Amino acid sequence: MSNKILLTGAAGFIGFHLAQRLLQEKDNLILGIDNINDYYDTQLKMDRLENLKTDKRFQFEKINIANKEQLDALVEKFQPSVVIHLAAQAGVRYSIINPAAYVESNLVGFANILELSHNLKVKHLIYASSSSVYGANKKIPFQESDSVDHPVSLYAATKKSNELMAHTYSNLYKIPTTGLRFFTVYGPWGRPDMAYFSFTKAIYENKPINVFNNGDMERDFTYIDDIVDGIIRLIDLPPVENSDWNFENPDPATSFAPYRVLNIGNNQPVRLLDFIHTLENLIGKEAEKKFLPMQPGDVKTTFANIDRLNKLTGFKPQTSIETGLKKFVEWYKQYYKIG
């Protein structure tokens, strides 16, 4: 089934890969928007877009989602049936340095996305939440039914806020909304601020890498192709009202409204030092490691329970960390013309 899709964050890592797959798999029309901010290398974002612009079914406009007037005027002409909202100010540590950027993009911008979804009566709004919402939670693996009331970074708080805001619109206006809690996404064309990318760069440049919490951390690293597969499977499966929802013992992952949140991860955490060792083997060079304490806003472990997504769509990650990192390193060498 073809769709007219508004894709925010189209120049971003996940948005780029998702747009590629949407154009390959279905007769979709995509309006991609992005503000191309300089949080990381803008040339990388522009190069992603150049790859997408070769397909006439992809239209791109540079716009800030916090500018409601411009956003509404643009989207009114396009009339999307589906909104996939991936635009956000990313990064846990940067939210401590520049909190205003998170308020503007992740709160004001998301409110604008909800309003246009309501006004256009879209059939499904899928938006990016984050595993960071689990915050201080020590219960492993993380389940959507767990409490997420104790975030440990402003970034996490904005993502938790997005889930609450989405529920309100699902309740008031019956907009089907799906929030996806992404778990440490990695792969080719990825984000330079992420550990796997910065580690690779440092190793090739013979510079030390910062290993936080002295390496005593685990992450549920999820390869980009698996993430995209999960999103694609959900597009034509909007949530419906849960008639069995228990008001006395509420499940926060679903609702009496057409609303849900879902984990999307690899379901297989990897120790940070094992992750680094895999990178070293692929690059053929040992990293100089600078061991540091835990950073404010970080958590020790992330681990996704993906039973709900699997039951709903059949989603099952296919990519091992060895395979995924191999593909990333191959892309990195080609993109940056190494060796």
**Which positions are annotated as active-site residues?**
155
- Cα distances from 93 to residues 84, 116, 193, 251, 332, in angstroms, run 25, 30, 10, 30, 24
Structure-block tokens of residue 122: 């879209």
| Ramachandran region, residue 314 (left: φ > 0; alpha: ψ -120 to 50; beta: rest) | left
- Helix (H) or strand (E) holding 185, with range, is strand 185-186
Q: Helix (H, G, I), strand (E, B), or coil: what is residue 79?
A: coil
In which residue are the tokens 């791109």 written?
Answer: 60
Q: Which residue, 287, 269, 268, 290, is CA-closest to 279?
A: 287
Report the alpha-carbon distance of residue 313 to residue 236 in Å, rounded: 10
Q: Which residue, 120, 91, 121, is CA-closest to 106?
A: 91
Residues near 268 by Cβ (< 8 Å), separated by ≥ 6?
Answer: 220, 317
CB hemisphere CA count around 325 (13 angstroms) = 20
